[in-house]
């Protein structure tokens, strides 16, 4: 059985009772009760409260002034704006003194540099043996977003390649595959995948002394010109990603590679606290309402609770909770075992025998290389990285840009507002009006952004709507302006122009905007 941690995990808020929208209910298979059994104490909403929340979170029609509380996108957890690179590294403003101490301890573990075994620093050994980074902070520099390699000297430590191969018909179904099939959702033709038999599910570009790395990330760029209204132009760069210098032989036939940059860490606990009912109320897989938007919920297997759960975290919503996302990163990125993923060799496969046979860091009093208490602290830290306040929420150009954002239909996926669950004893995330600009659903983003690698219910063209809060501070925090799942966009305008599929109509509206309105839209995004 998977261990129980007794920590503030909201991974199964999905289990709190879900009412789908009429359109989604008409076209979606029924979801069994096992998904909705409460595993966490949550105060239910009264009908009066639900109506008030619906009114508060409704889309505005007044763009002459900021909405009430709009300056504080993280609710009471919002932190004051800073003008330095630490803008993403502040704690939720509504933590108690004792919780502040937990946050600081978690920060220390998040920044901790792990070393290979055996080592005299036995509390820090266990790195790898194959890995992408030596600490969480090395990928999420300043708790912000990663970037693609910028020249031959850049080791691309803040991004990596996921890899999988088509599953054979003879291979048994996983728990989540069997569950989805039971719902009448076979996941699409060819969507069942398995890790590469040699390289696993993630390519590691570093190895401890004497152990070759799995690969070196390679990329080629091709510029593409886009004509914009008003005589303006933009240039997009289309990447071709490669796994160069393979250290353990060729990839398996049919291997599918997907590049992923490390996302920013803001407001994760608040996203975790959004009621699943609110997320699932927006699903419309068959586009019954005819608006061109077909959001789908990602369903994943919760290793913590050993049952299906709603996916929320990761570029394709492959993790149900901050805890599971953190534990998976320890295993796959750093090669550190946790009580949830206990293999001391991380992602190494049986074909990588030297990796599995190398010394590991779990031979002393620790049962795993980071124990339950350490994982709890890192999870608490990750949940409570605060969203900075808006800086120019009342600026006329920003308000005009907000109007353009709404007019272009961007809010169909980037849902502006949510109200989190009432969580007894959980002040930081409890009953907060938040402005993350995401619906946390999967959307077809077109062939231009497709990685052609299915993940769970997500097809090779689908991605989770990423939250936009804090996105305008990326240059200040990380010193670059690279966006999207692989960092191909060099500006927010480029990121918008890469949208396709369900977002094609919105993209075209941005192309057709007058230059002043397009500039206002970017000013609005830069203020988030």
What is the structure's pLDDT at 34? 42
The DSSP code for 233 is E
Tell me, yes or no, whether 393 lies in a domain: yes
Q: Is 437 left (phi over 0), alpha (psi -120 to 50) or beta?
A: left
DSSP state of 176: H
Quote the DSSP letter at residue 177. Answer: H
The sign of the dihedral angle between the CA atoms of 396, 401, 403, 404 is positive
Token pair recorded at residue 36: 């909705």
Residues 272/13, Cβ–Cβ less than 8 Å = yes
Whose CA is closest to 241, among 226, 256, 231, 230? 256
Nearest-angstrom CA–CA distance, 447 and 239? 13
Instruction: Quote the strand ranges of 352-432, DSSP E.
Output: 418-419
User: Which pair of structure tokens corresponds to residue 144?
Assistant: 């912000």
Instruction: pLDDT tens for the chain, 528 residues: list them.
Output: 333 333 233 223 223 323 333 333 334 444 444 443 233 567 888 999 999 999 999 999 999 999 999 999 999 999 999 999 999 999 999 999 999 999 999 999 999 999 999 888 878 899 999 999 999 999 999 999 999 988 767 777 899 999 999 999 889 999 888 888 887 775 554 578 999 999 999 999 999 999 999 999 999 999 999 999 999 999 999 999 999 999 999 999 999 999 999 999 999 999 999 999 899 999 998 888 888 899 999 999 999 988 888 999 999 999 999 999 999 999 999 999 999 999 999 999 999 999 999 999 866 567 899 999 999 999 999 999 999 999 999 999 999 999 999 999 999 999 999 999 998 878 899 999 999 999 999 999 999 999 999 999 999 999 999 999 999 999 999 999 999 999 999 999 999 999 999 999 999 999 999 999 999 999 999 999
Query: Has residue 302 been placed in a domain?
Result: yes
Rounded to an integer, what distance in angstroms lies between the CA atom of residue 437 and that of residue 99? Answer: 27
**Does the residue 420 lie in any domain?**
yes
> Which residue is listed with tokens 């149900």?
320
Candidates 191, 182, 188, 107; CA nearest to 143 is 107
Residue span of the structural domain in which 427 resides: 13-527
Q: The tokens 């989770």 sit on which residue?
A: 464
Q: Does residue 397 form part of some domain? A: yes
pLDDT for res 328: 98
- Evaluate whether residue 7 is within a structural domain: no
Token pair recorded at residue 457:
């219910």
CA distance 470 to 266: 7
Domain total of the chain: 1
Query: In sequence order, what E strands does 44-145 have?
Result: 130-131
Partners of 236 in beta bridges: 224
* Token duo for residue 421: 């669950």
pLDDT at position 186 is 58
Whether a cis peptide bond, with omega within 30° of 0, leads into 118 is yes
* CA atoms of 85 and 103, how far apart (whole Å): 19
Residue 421 lies in a domain: yes
The residues, any chain, with a CB within 8 Å of residue 126's CB and separated by 6 or more, are 114, 116, 117, 335, 336, 337, 344, 360, 361, 362, 369, 370
Give residue 220's pLDDT.
95
**8-state DSSP, 43:** B
> What DSSP string runs through 244-293?
ES-SSSPPPTT-EEEEEEPPP-TTHHHHHTS-HHHHHTT--TT-TT-SS-
In a domain, 1, yes or no: no
Residue 4 lies in a domain: no
Structure tokens at 7: 């920590």
Count Cα atoms within 13 angstroms, Cβ side, for 201: 15
């Amino acid at each position: 059985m998977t261990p129980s941690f007794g920590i503030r995990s909201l991974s199964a808020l999905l289990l709190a009772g879900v009412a789908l929208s009429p359109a989604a209910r008409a076209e979606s298979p029924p979801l069994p009760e096992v998904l909705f059994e409460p595993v966490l104490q949550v105060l239910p909403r009264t009908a009066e409260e639900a109506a008030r929340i619906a009114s508060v979170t409704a889309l505005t029609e007044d763009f002459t002034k900021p909405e009430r509380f709009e300056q504080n996108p993280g609710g009471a957890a919002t932190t004051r704006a800073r003008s330095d690179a630490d803008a993403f590294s502040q704690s939720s403003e509504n933590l108690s003194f004792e919780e502040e101490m937990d946050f600081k301890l978690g920060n220390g573990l998040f920044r901790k540099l792990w070393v290979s075994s055996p080592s005299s620093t036995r509390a820090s050994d266990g790195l790898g043996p194959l890995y992408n980074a030596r600490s969480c902070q090395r990928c999420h520099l300043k708790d912000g977003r990663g970037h693609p390699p910028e020249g031959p000297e850049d080791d691309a430590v803040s991004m990596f390649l996921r890899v999988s191969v088509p599953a054979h018909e003879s291979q048994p179904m996983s728990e989540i595959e069997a569950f989805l099939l039971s719902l009448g959702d076979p996941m699409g033709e060819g969507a069942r995948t398995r890790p590469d038999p040699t390289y696993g599910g993630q390519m590691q570009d570093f190895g401890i002394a004497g152990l070759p790395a799995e690969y070196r990330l390679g990329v080629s760029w091709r510029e593409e010109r886009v004509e914009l209204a008003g005589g303006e132009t933009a240039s997009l760069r289309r990447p071709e990603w490669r796994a160069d210098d393979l250290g353990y032989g060729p990839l398996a036939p049919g291997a599918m590679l997907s590049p992923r940059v490390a996302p920013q860490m803001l407001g994760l606990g608040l996203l975790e606290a959004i009621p699943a009912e609110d997320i699932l109320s927006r699903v419309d897989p068959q586009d019954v309402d005819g608006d061109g938007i077909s959001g789908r919920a990602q369903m994943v297997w919760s290793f913590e609770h050993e049952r299906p759960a709603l996916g929320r975290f990761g570029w394709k919503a492959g993790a149900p909770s901050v805890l599971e996302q953190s534990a998976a990163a320890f295993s796959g990125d750093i090669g550190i075992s946790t009580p949830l993923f206990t293999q001391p060799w991380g992602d190494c496969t049986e074909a990588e025998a030297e990796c599995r046979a190398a010394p590991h860091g779990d031979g002393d009093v620790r049962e795993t290389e980071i124990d339950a208490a350490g994982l709890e602290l890192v999870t608490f830290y990750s949940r409570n990285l605060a969203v900075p306040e808006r800086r120019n929420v009342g600026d006329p150009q920003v308000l005009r840009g907000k109007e353009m954002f709404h007019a272009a239909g961007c809010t169909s996926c980037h849902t502006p507002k949510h109200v989190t669950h009432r969580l007894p004893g959980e002040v930081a995330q409890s009953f907060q009006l938040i402005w993350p600009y995401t619906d946390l659903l999967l959307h077809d983003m077109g062939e231009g952004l497709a990685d052609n690698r299915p993940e769970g219910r997500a097809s090779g063209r689908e991605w989770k709507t990423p939250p936009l809060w804090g996105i305008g501070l990326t240059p200040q925090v990380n010193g670059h302006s690279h966006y999207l799942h692989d960092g191909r966009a060099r500006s927010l305008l480029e990121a918008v122009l890469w949208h396709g599929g369900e977002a094609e109509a919105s993209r075209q509206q941005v192309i057709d905007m007058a230059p002043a309105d397009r500039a206002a839209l970017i000013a609005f995004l830069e203020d988030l």
